[in-house]
Structure 1
């Protein structure tokens, strides 16, 4: 019988040591903000959560801070466990600078703005959301589109379920199991993930030539441990592998799970 304890401990430790820089930074920031949120002198959640009717020019920072802030210890723990393998895979594929630009750019602001528009303009409500599962569901949307291109259906008995619907099913399951989660917030994340998976957001990514210039100018690969260069990434950018005979291949999809976005 295999040593389950040794296997899990050694594998987890080895995996943690291999995590790339941006993924490490996001996990660390989430943990630090949870610790800061324990004190009662300053209400961190009220300051950084996405509250639709409190978004203005001076509070636009909420659009980028809300995925980093969580309700409690378990909310933080589950989101870290769900996000880490997804974020690690994304950074390994696209590089550290691209991950930084995309996750503190369109991959966060687009679902946040979409949520505000739907919450205030359509539902006439003002529900607060926070939590990194917005990123988890977004990456699941990317995975679903990629999987659909190579494996369009899941066969369950006599039924053929389109694989692109998997994140939608997970949002419903999460909403049923965790009533305080934000179904609309998760759906906004999935929607933007679909757009990214279909290639409609490629133009929002920083150009590779500029990334190479920055990396060379600052010698980031030599100075920063666990940094993933644009030329060291596992696969090609945006789903295209390097070619030798004029052809191209589709990048394997992301894999992972999800947890709630907020109350």
Structure 2
């Protein structure tokens, strides 16, 4: 692993400029919502996944809560965590698949699971925001992939299953970092395991359909940094095939302990005071 003294800003700049299209769009949406929430703090309240405020008229929360953050550092560390994993996912599955999943099922499924666990099992009312739900989803998917080649690793005399690595990280962050959402992270990891095991691959349209859409709309020619679903033919970036590095590391995210009183949140309490806003 290169040391800090070997850090090369040119390589970092090159990596950033090679990020694929959907990764760029999602990161831009995260930054854009954070900027918008500075003059309009009610945006965070409207996007938070709050069990007591959720009903069929509030379905937008399932799409917005991973993109919304409580402050600059919450947003910054989330971006650092998810960027290499998101870039790797898009490089493997393509731009269309990544866009459809992260604007749909990868928000709806972990968000819905969290609501069920929090509201109906624990009878709680903790509102959550933050894209670390995606970090644990992607990390769990990568853990399943890695476990097929390396089923376990040794720590002293103990043999640890590789697929359990995200669970240990969830426990560690919950124990060491205040105000993180254990259930939120666990919900993201659960969906990541299902994806990695192939149980929810049916959510993606057939590759022939995706290839037909790409050809019909000439997406490879029109969109820069577009990743084709048929990488064997077109290369990673379609018309301009290049190679890029992607990491699997990440940083667990934390929340701010308080929001402004104008949001009706004080001391980390939400709504009726029974719930605590968490960063996931």
Give the TM-score taking structure 2 as reference length.
Answer: 0.82
Distance in 2 of aligned mates of 1:186 and 1:57:
24
Contact 1:95 1:233 in 2 (8 A): no
Q: How many residues align?
A: 245
Q: Are residues 261 and 146 of structure 1, via their aligned partners in 2, closer, same or farther at CA, if it must alter by over 3 Å? A: farther
User: Residue 38 of structure 1 aligns with which residue?
Assistant: 38
Corresponding position: 1:99 with 2:92? no
1:154-193 aligned within 5 A? 154-193=153-192
Contact 1:94 1:233 in 2 (8 A): no
User: Residue 86 of structure 2 aligns with which residue?
Assistant: 87
Partner SS, residue 161 of structure 1? strand
Q: Are residues 3 and 171 of structure 1, via their aligned partners in 2, closer, same or farther at CA, if it must alter by over 3 Å? A: closer
Give the 4+ runs in structure 1 shifted more than 4 A.
Answer: 2-7
Per-residue deviation, 1:259 = 2.0
Distance in 1 of aligned mates of 2:178 and 2:211:
45
Distance in 2 of aligned mates of 1:127 and 1:71:
14
Distance in 1 of aligned mates of 2:96 and 2:163:
28
User: Residue 25 of structure 1 aligns with which residue?
Assistant: 25
Distance in 2 of aligned mates of 1:4 and 1:31:
26
Corresponding position: 1:212 with 2:205? no
Corresponding position: 1:55 with 2:54? yes
Contact 2:44 2:69 in 1 (8 A): yes
Distance in 2 of aligned mates of 1:61 and 1:177:
31
Per-residue deviation, 1:4 = 6.1
Q: How far does the alpha carbon of each residue in 1:32-84 deviate from its partner, in whole angstroms, 9 at most, with x for none?
A: 11111111x45111011111121112211100100000010000000000100
Contact 1:48 1:65 in 2 (8 A): yes
Partner SS, residue 225 of structure 1? coil
Per-residue deviation, 1:24 = 0.6
User: Residue 76 of structure 1 aligns with which residue?
Assistant: 75
Per-residue deviation, 1:7 = 4.2
Partner SS, residue 229 of structure 1? coil
Corresponding position: 1:256 with 2:249? yes
Q: How far does the alpha carbon of each residue in 1:165-196 deviate from its partner, in whole angstroms, 9 at most, with x for none?
A: 10001001111222111000000111111111
Per-residue deviation, 1:30 = 0.5
- RMSD between aligned residues: 2.3
Q: How far does the alpha carbon of each residue in 1:8-37 deviate from its partner, in whole angstroms, 9 at most, with x for none?
A: 201110100110000011111111111111
Give the TM-score taking structure 1 as reference length.
Answer: 0.87
Structure 2 gap ranges (5+): 234-245, 256-277
Contact 1:134 1:261 in 2 (8 A): no
Distance in 2 of aligned mates of 1:217 and 1:31:
32
Distance in 1 of aligned mates of 2:231 and 2:192:
24
Q: How far does the alpha carbon of each residue in 1:196-252 deviate from its partner, in whole angstroms, 9 at most, with x for none?
A: 111101111122122112211211111110011111279xxxxxxxxxxxxxxxxxx
More moved, 12-21 vs 138-147: 138-147
Q: Are residues 157 and 4 of structure 1, via their aligned partners in 2, closer, same or farther at CA, if it must alter by over 3 Å? A: closer
Structure 1 gap ranges (5+): 235-252
